[in-house]
């Protein structure tokens, strides 16, 4: 896997024009920020001045998303003058990929030299204070997905036992709150729980997740954050609250059932606010 990470990173670097054909650095600057354009951040791609793009399907042995709403490509360019590389869509553990496949794209982002990773996701709200359409900055997480660091450790990527005392950068969280206030956006803060999915949570599971300290629950992100921190990259994360879970069988009211289409619809309504927030934050790192 270590060799595969290196080969994948090299392929992406060359195809995005970050090195010349002779392997020498070209005029294209190293991307400073990596962005995972998950649910709620799709509109941010339109704000990036794209210089190069690469579909996941063009990368040898690269995982490709099977989920609606995840386009599946890398884009390199500038955001408010800052060099960035973004992932339009991600793959998930529930799609049947091994966990090392799930985090391969983020491993590649780190290998391109980013110093900061911004991640986003759609999540169900566990806090009774949340409403559908809220944006939550992630202050910590609980990972219930297999840990991507299980297995042999490559010391060139990171240490065997990485510290996770601050998985999400406190200074970036403070910056997010300041920018949100300036933009008139209500920004929640809380603990994100990453579960395997793909089934939505039962009422009993909702009560359990709330009891162990969760404010929102989703099916991604935590493995990506773990490998980013393993490689010394600081992280800022956001959850777009697409529905609120009460922990009771009638939590959706009137026998209504939660669907992926509903998640996408709520995400689309709030994506402009989250994209504007992240775009401004990136300019002020």
Q: How far apart are CA 120 and CA 218, in angstroms?
A: 11
CA angle, 75 then 81 then 264, to 5°: 45
CA 147 to chain centre: 16
3-state secondary structure 92-126: CHHHCCCHHHHCHHHHHHHHCCCCEEEEEEEEEEC
Q: How far apart are CA 241 and CA 223, in angstroms?
A: 20
> Which residues touch 11 (CB under 8 Å, ≥6 apart)?
59, 60
Q: How far apart are CA 27 and CA 30, in angstroms?
A: 9
**CB–CB of 77/84 below 8 Å?**
yes
Instruction: State in Å, rounded, how far the first CA of the chain is from the last one.
Output: 32
Among all residues, which ones are annotated catalytic? Answer: 39, 70, 92, 94-95, 122, 219-220, 243, 260
Q: How far apart are CA 242 and CA 260, in angstroms?
A: 10
Quickly list H helices, the chain. Answer: 2-15, 44-47, 99-102, 104-111, 170-183, 203-211, 222-230, 260-283
* Percent helix, percent strand, percent coil in the chain, to nearest 5: 30, 25, 45
Query: What three-state secondary structure class fits 210?
Result: helix
DSSP 57: G
């Amino acid at each position: 896997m270590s060799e595969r990470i290196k080969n994948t990173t090299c392929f992406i670097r060359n195809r995005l024009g970050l090195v010349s054909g002779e392997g020498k650095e070209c005029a294209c600057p190293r991307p400073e920020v990596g962005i995972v354009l998950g649910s709620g951040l799709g509109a941010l791609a339109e704000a990036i001045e794209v210089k190069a793009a690469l579909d996941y399907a063009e990368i040898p042995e690269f995982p490709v998303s099977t989920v609606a709403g995840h386009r599946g490509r890398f884009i390199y360019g500038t955001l408010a003058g800052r060099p960035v590389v973004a992932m339009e869509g991600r793959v998930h553990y529930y799609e049947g990929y091994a966990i090392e496949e799930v985090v391969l794209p983020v491993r590649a982002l780190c290998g391109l030299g980013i110093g900061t990773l911004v991640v986003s996701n759609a999540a169900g709200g566990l806090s009774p204070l949340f409403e559908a359409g809220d944006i939550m900055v992630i202050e910590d997480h609980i990972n219930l997905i297999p840990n991507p660091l299980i297995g042999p450790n490559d010391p060139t990527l990171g240490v065997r036992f990485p510290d996770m005392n601050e998985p999400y950068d406190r200074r970036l969280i403070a910056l997010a709150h300041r920018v949100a206030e300036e933009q008139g956006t209500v920004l929640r803060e809380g603990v994100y729980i990453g579960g395997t999915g793909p089934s939505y949570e039962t009422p009993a599971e909702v009560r359990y997740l709330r009891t162990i300290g969760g404010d929102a629950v989703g099916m991604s992100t935590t493995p990506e954050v773990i490998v980013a921190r393993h490689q010394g990259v600081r992280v800022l994360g956001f959850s777009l609250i697409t529905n609120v879970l009460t922990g009771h069988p009638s939590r959706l009211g009137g026998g209504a059932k939660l669907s992926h289409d509903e998640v996408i619809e709520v995400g689309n309504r709030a994506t402009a606010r989250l994209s504007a927030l992240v775009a401004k934050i990136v300019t002020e790192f």
